[in-house]
Amino acid sequence: MKQIKGPAIFLAQFIEDHAPFNNLNDICKWAAELGFKAIQLPTGDERFFDLTQGAHSQDYCDNVLATVRKHGLEISELSTHLQGQLVAVNPAYNEMFDGFAPVSVRGNPEARQAWAIEQLKLAAKASARLGLKAHATFSGSLLWHTVYPWPQRPSGLVEQGFEELAALWKPILDEFDAAGVDVCYELHPGEDLHDGVTFDRFLKAVDYHPRANILYDPSHFVLQQLDYLAFIDIYHHRIKAFHVKDAEFVMSGRAGVYGGYESWINRPGRFRSLGDGQIDFKAIFTKLTAYGFDGWAVMEWECCIKHPQDGAAEGARFIQQHLIRPTDKAFDDFAAVETNTELNNRVLGLNIR
């Protein structure tokens, strides 16, 4: 068995316009002091990582790595969640998602999509220069507005939607394949890839591309009432990245999985800081370790109650306490005897005359 690495932290929710959260050096120092061993690095803010430079300049990547390693950290993955979202946007969401893109392509869905696709291809090259093996992103969505089928979906709509999504992603997946990096889709409500069935549909549409993989985040499955432990049993061979984020679902007589348009704090399903929710992380770490997952355990903070800095400090300790060092021996090795074919034959009742 292999060992999960950690703890790591996804920086996206911690970036701000004041120190130590406004530049790579200072935020790395802060993360290291909390006990983290790696950062998952978002690429939507050039103060932290410039994808164009990262794709084309080894010197730039070496300098970024030197800054990170100066604080005893590594980079677990680059993240293009925002750019991945823009690979596929239904027109119903054009204006709301425009803020994810640079001003130069806002109001122009075609230019915005081309920019997003190019960003993903740059991320493949940059990941290779950084020596990374996995990349975190979203799939985007053409179908999400039809997730609850009323009015009834037109015949063939879902199949056509996944074919179109696959056509957008195949060239990107090929780019990552050339770079030797896995694309890890965070299965997330709002994305066309949001559960096991939708991932299966996509996987079939991209001809089971070897680089089409999963960022496993159990919190999104709790909110969908999906069995997050059985999911590992089914998809462990495609799980190549891991977000450690807690959540809870408290049954209500007034709202369900859709949340009634309430704020996060008033929803039946909501994200919590590590250890404050309902997720059985002992079982998750056990299963992932047993299946040989050796990627990073990356804390993502999205709690609707606790302060992010408290959640981060507690999260580093929480992950450290859940890491499992795999055993290199069986508990009953003390009673083992050397292989003896004749003895085994006698025990089995074979070749006895």
**DSSP annotation of 106:** T
Dihedral angle computed from the Cα positions of residues 75, 184, 273 and 251, in that order, rounded to the nearest 10 degrees: 180
Reading the block at residue 336, the tokens are 């083992």
Fold of 5-348: TIM Barrel (3.20.20)
The structural domains of the chain, with segments of one domain joined by +, span 5-348
Cβ proximity of 309 and 295 under 8 Å: no
State how far the Cα of 77 lies from the Cα of 133, in Å rounded to an integer: 8
**CA–CA dist 196, 183 (Å, integer):** 16
97 - beta bridge partners?
none
| Sequential DSSP letters for 273-315 | -TTSSS--HHHHHHHHHHTT--SEEEE----SSS-HHHHHHHH
Beta bridge partners of 329: none
Q: How confident is the model at residue 327 (pLDDT cuts 50, 70, 90)?
A: confident
Rounded CA-CA distance 311/235 in Å is 29
Residue 172 has pLDDT above 80, yes or no: yes
Q: Is the pTM for the entire model greater than 0.85? A: yes
Position of tokens 């179109």?
Answer: 164
For residue range 182-229, list pLDDT tens digits in order.
999 999 999 999 999 999 999 999 999 999 999 999 999 999 999 999
Task: Measure the CA angle with vertex 185, ends 180 and 186; round to 5°.
Answer: 140
Average pLDDT of 11-37?
Answer: 97
